[in-house]
C-alpha cells in the first residue's frame, strides 16, 4: 500500500491532493479534539536542553521557512522532498490540518523544520531538515525524538521514508525497516 501511495504522491499529484483532502476530512471528524489539544500545547515556544526552542509554525512564518528551505543547496535537500518549497506551496502546507509543522529556533532564527504528516489510520510520517551550519549539534536527533514523543502520546505509529544513501540520518534513529521501496528508499518504523 505504501508503495502505491508514494507513486501517487510523486507521479499523480491531482489524485494525491484528493487523497490528502479526504484524509484531512477524516482527521477532523475522528481526531478533532486531539489535534486542537496539540495545537494549543505546541503553539508557544518550548525550550530544549541545548539552548534552542521549538514551536508550531504558522502562516506568519512562511518567509522564515521559505528562507531556510530556499537557502539549502541541492545536495542538502536531495533526500528531503516532502512537498514543494515555493511560498505558495509552503502556505498550503501551513494551512493543512493533516500536517503538524514545527520550527526549531536559535533565538529568532529558524534553523530547522520538522513535521508529522498524520493519516487517519493512526500512522504518522516524520520529516526533518536542519540548516547545515547547525549540523552536529544534535538538533536532528532532538527533532525526531520530539516527533516520536508526540506520535507516542497520540498512540500512533511513527514512520518515515528514507533513502538508503542517507547514511547520516539512518545512524541517528532506532527503527526497523518495514519495506524496501523503489529507488533505494526504505519505509522505516520508529522504535521506542
Q: Of the candidates 151, 48, 155, 30, which has an alpha carbon nearest to the alpha carbon of residue 103?
A: 48
Distance CA(61)–CA(42), nearest Å, equals 15
How crowded is the C-beta side of 88, counted as CA atoms within 13 Å? 0
Please give the C-alpha separations between residue 173 and each of 11, 122, 185, in angstroms, as whole numbers.
29, 21, 16
| pTM, rounded to two decimals | 0.89
Distance CA(54)–CA(104), nearest Å, equals 4
Please give the C-alpha separations between residue 125 and each of 69, 114, 160, in angstroms, as whole numbers.
19, 11, 5
Question: Coil, helix or strand for 178?
Answer: strand
C-alpha 90 chain-centroid distance:
13
Distance CA(116)–CA(110), nearest Å, equals 18
Looking at residue 162, its pLDDT comes to 84
Looking at residue 76, its pLDDT comes to 78
Residuewise pLDDT in 10s, the chain (192 residues)? 666 877 888 788 899 889 989 999 999 999 999 989 989 999 999 998 778 999 999 999 999 999 999 999 887 787 788 888 999 999 999 988 889 999 999 988 999 999 999 999 899 999 999 999 998 888 988 999 999 999 999 899 999 888 888 777 777 778 888 888 888 888 889 886
Looking at residue 134, its pLDDT comes to 92
Looking at residue 116, its pLDDT comes to 94
Beta strands in the chain (DSSP E): 46-47, 53-56, 99-106, 109-119, 123-130, 157-163, 175-181, 185-190
Domain that holds residue 53: 2-190
Looking at residue 89, its pLDDT comes to 92
Looking at residue 73, its pLDDT comes to 86
CATH code of the domain in which 104 resides: 3.40.630.30
Looking at residue 109, its pLDDT comes to 93
Looking at residue 2, its pLDDT comes to 67
Instruction: Read off the C-alpha cell for 56.
Output: 508550531
Strand pairing category for 123-130 and 157-163: parallel
**Residues 57 and 103 sit within 8 Å (Cβ to Cβ):** yes
Number of separate domains in the chain:
1
Looking at residue 80, its pLDDT comes to 83
Please give the C-alpha separations between residue 118 and each of 12, 28, 125, 126, 144, in angstroms, as whole numbers.
20, 11, 7, 9, 15
Amino acid at each position: 500500500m505504501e508503495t502505491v501511495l508514494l507513486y501517487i504522491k510523486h507521479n499523480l499529484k491531482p489524485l494525491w491532493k484528493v487523497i490528502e483532502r479526504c484524509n484531512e476530512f477524516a482527521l477532523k471528524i475522528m481526531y478533532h479534539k486531539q489535534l486542537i489539544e496539540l495545537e494549543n500545547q505546541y503553539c508557544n515556544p518550548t525550550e530544549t536542553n541545548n539552548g534552542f526552542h521549538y514551536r508550531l509554525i504558522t502562516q506568519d512564518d512562511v518567509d522564515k521557512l521559505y528562507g531556510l528551505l530556499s537557502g539549502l543547496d541541492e545536495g542538502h535537500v536531495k533526500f528531503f522532498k516532502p512537498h514543494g518549497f515555493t511560498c505558495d506551496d509552503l502556505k498550503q502546507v501551513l494551512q493543512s490540518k493533516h500536517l503538524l509543522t514545527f520550527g526549531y529556533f536559535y533565538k529568532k532564527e529558524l534553523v530547522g523544520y520538522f513535521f508529522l504528516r498524520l493519516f487517519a489510520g493512526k500512522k504518522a510520517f516524520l520529516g526533518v531538515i536542519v540548516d547545515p551550519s547547525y549540523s552536529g549539534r544534535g538538533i536532528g536527533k532532538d527533532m525526531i525524538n520530539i516527533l516520536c514523543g508526540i506520535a507516542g502520546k497520540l498512540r500512533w505509529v511513527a514512520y518515515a521514508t528514507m533513502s538508503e544513501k542517507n547514511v547520516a540520518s539512518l545512524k541517528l534513529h532506532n527503527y526497523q525497516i518495514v519495506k524496501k521501496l523503489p529507488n533505494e528508499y526504505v519505509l522505516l518504523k520508529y522504535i521506542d
